[in-house]
Amino acid sequence: MKSVLFVCLGNICRSPLAEGIARDIVQRKKLDVEVDSCGTGDWHIGEHPCENSVKVAKMHGIDISMLVSRQITRNDLEHFEMIVALDSKNYDDLKRMGAKNLYKLGDFGYDGVDVPDPYFFNGFKGFEKVYEMIHVCVNNLFEIKFGL
Ligand code: 4NP
């Protein structure tokens, strides 16, 4: 089965947005692709996505409020066909853990740039920018990798 795991640091801001956008594509197009997200860090395990990510997703008709943060496991590295890092720090951490099939989300439409961490940004504006980047790249990824 096709599968993709989106990975950021806390799994409360960026990768839940990527998961929500990807799940929306899977649902609308009735695809057989497993989608998940997680964080490299453990600070937010068990928490729902941050308020601003829930809000920006909702503005685009996507509900991510029920997602729950978890940390990456060794099993994830074997299980997922694609492991997609949101920034280069995540990418390097995953590489060090031995991830193969490793990609960077920004390579799917944003010249490989990092999706910046909006957690410490001032206010909501950063989340709108991050949503736009993730939306473009996740759609391109599905088109390129899954032919959809
Ligand atoms: P995320 O954002 O990696 O996009 O989920 C972060 C959220 C929290 C922290 C770091 C990044 N933190 O260090 O608490």
Please report the pLDDT score of residue 148 as a whole number: 64
Please report the pLDDT score of residue 120 as a whole number: 78
Mean pLDDT along residues 93-97: 98
User: What does the pLDDT look like over 29-57, one tens digit per residue?
Assistant: 999 999 999 999 999 999 999 999 999 99
Distance 78 CA to ligand 1 centre (A): 24
Name residues contacting ligand 1 (CB within 6 A). Answer: 8-14, 39, 43-44, 117, 119
Mean pLDDT along residues 87-100: 98
Domain ranges, residue 112:
2-146
pLDDT higher than threshold 70 for residue 122 = no
Mean pLDDT along residues 122-134: 91
**Among 1, 81, 83, residue whose Cα is nearest residue 37:** 83
CB 96 within 8 A of CB 48: no
SS (H, E, C) the chain: CEEEEEEECCCCCHHHHHHHHHHHHHHHCCCCEEEEEEECCCCCCCCCCCHHHHHHHHHCCCCCCCCCCCECCHHHHHHCCEEEECCHHHHHHHHHHCCCCEEEHHHCCCCCCCCCCCCCCCCCHHHHHHHHHHHHHHHHHHHHHHCC
pTM: 0.97
Least confident interval from 87-91, 101-105, 121-125:
121-125
Annotated catalytic residue 93: no
- Annotated active-site residue in 50, 87, 117, 137: 117
The residue count for the chain? 148
CATH number for the domain harbouring residue 134: 3.40.50.2300
pLDDT higher than threshold 90 for residue 96 = yes
Mean pLDDT along residues 102-107: 98
- Annotated active-site residue in 14, 36, 76, 87: 14
Beta-carbon count within 10 A of 122 CB: 7
Phi and psi for 19 in degrees, rounded to 5? -65, -45
Distance 25 CA to ligand 1 centre (A): 25
CB 142 within 8 A of CB 105: no
Please report the pLDDT score of residue 147 as a whole number: 82
Residue nearest to atom 6 of ligand 1 (CA): 10
Q: What is the mean pLDDT of the chain?
A: 96
Identify which of 117, 120, 134 to mutate to test ligand 1's pocket (most ligand atoms within 8 A of the CB).
117
Please report the pLDDT score of residue 18 as a whole number: 99
Please report the pLDDT score of residue 119 as a whole number: 84
Annotated catalytic residue 42: no
Mean pLDDT along residues 101-106: 98
Q: How many domains does the chain have?
A: 1
